Amino acid sequence: MAYFGKYETPAELLSDESLNKEKKIEMLEQWREDEMALKRAAEEGMHGGVRAELKKVQKALTSLRDTSATD
């Protein structure tokens, strides 16, 4: 989890100018997968200490892909 411990929110990851779009997308896709796994676990009655940010991650990915299409 490359984003873990470094970014509190997907918006922080998006604003990191040291990363190119491809790396941001890669990291956000991994973040999305992790959030989906957390959601599945919660639905099965397992609880963790990480808050779910799936909607924020999806929104960040969409915004990056939209700008990639216009570049």
Query: If you average pLDDT over residues 15-31, what whole number do you get?
Result: 95
Query: If you average pLDDT over residues 10-39, what whole number do you get?
Result: 93
| Cα–Cα distances in angstroms (integers) from residue 47 to residues 2, 37, 40, in the given order | 22, 11, 10
The Cα 67–Cα 58 span in angstroms is 14
pLDDT at 71: 57
* Global pTM value: 0.76
pLDDT at 43: 80
Average pLDDT of every residue of the chain: 84
